[in-house]
Chains A and B, each alone.
Chain A
Amino acid sequence: SQQGEEDPQALSIQEGENATMNCSYKTSINNLQWYRQNSGRGLVHLILIRSNEREKHSGRLRVTLDTSKKSSSLLITASRAADTASYFCATPFSGTYKYIFGTGTRLKVLA
């Protein structure tokens, strides 16, 4: 079964708006990662947040992690049409390096 679940499954916003997507997971983790997938392509790593971090920034990306709720959020600020893609969270399963991916959020940014 999937370790992570993202919501919403799909999100459509106007260019310039912020996009927020959430990820929930099941087991204890030491890090959580977010990836982006353009249609029909491989995944690209965006950001990694460790279990002892609450928030991390990278450019227009802001990630938060709440280990007590087993959840994370990815915020993309000032979105652009080029941000249109699917976004996945990934967590290592139960102390291993077996990375399990969530179901993904399909983001569409309208110009």
Chain B
Amino acid sequence: GAGVSQSPSNKVTEKGKDVELRCDPISGHTALYWYRQSLGQGLEFLIYFQGNSAPDKSGLPSDRFSAERTGGSVSTLTIQRTQQEDSAVYLCASRYTAPNTGELFFGEGSRLTVL
């Protein structure tokens, strides 16, 4: 597709369940980011993938959160044993690195509600 695609756009789950959020970056973008945005707040960095390098996981809030990127393209963010405080919009962004314009392209986000 032309832009960053995220699915599902909305997810309602019960506390304690696991959820998977998917991000399909722009073709050819080797850098991929996940952010979390709580209602009315700024963006909280979660994780960053760059090519085949080890991801920067420094923003993951707990070991219930994990992410992987398969084949240098699609990424999945997994939240295990969801808690109510996990409710937020999860945003994915990708970036072209050759040349490196610095600009991040964002998807429309996945809104997660934990009941």
Interface, chain A (partner B; CB < 8 A): 2, 31, 33, 35, 40-45, 48, 88, 90, 92, 96-104
> Which of B4, B45, B58, B103 is A33 in contact with, Cβ under 8 Å?
B103
Contact check, A88 vs B107: say whether CB atoms are below 8 A apart.
no
Instruction: Check B105–A88 contact: CB distance below 8 A.
Output: no
B99 contacts partner chain A, Cβ-Cβ < 8 Å: no
Closest-by-CB residue of B relative to A104 is B42
A7 to chain B, nearest CB (A): 13
Contacts A31-B102, A43-B104 known; list 20 others, CB within 8 Å. A2-B42, A33-B102, A33-B103, A41-B108, A42-B91, A42-B109, A43-B93, A44-B106, A45-B103, A48-B101, A48-B102, A88-B43, A90-B104, A96-B56, A97-B95, A98-B58, A99-B104, A101-B42, A101-B45, A103-B41
Q: How large is the interface on B (under 10, 10 to 19, 20 to 34, 35 or more residues)?
A: 20 to 34
CB of B65 within 8 Å of the partner chain:
no
What sequence of 0s and 1s flags, for each residue 4-46 of chain B, a beta carbon within 8 Å of any chain A beta carbon?
A: 1000000000000000000000000001010100000111010
Give the total number of A-B pairs whose CB atoms are below 8 A apart: 54
Residues of A close to B106: CB separation below 8 A: 35, 42-44
- A42 contacts B107, CB within 8 Å? yes
- The DSSP consensus for interface residues of chain A is strand
Nearest Cβ on chain B to A10's Cβ, whole angstroms:
10
Among B31, B35, B101, B102, which residue has the most Cβ atoms of chain A within 10 A?
A: B102
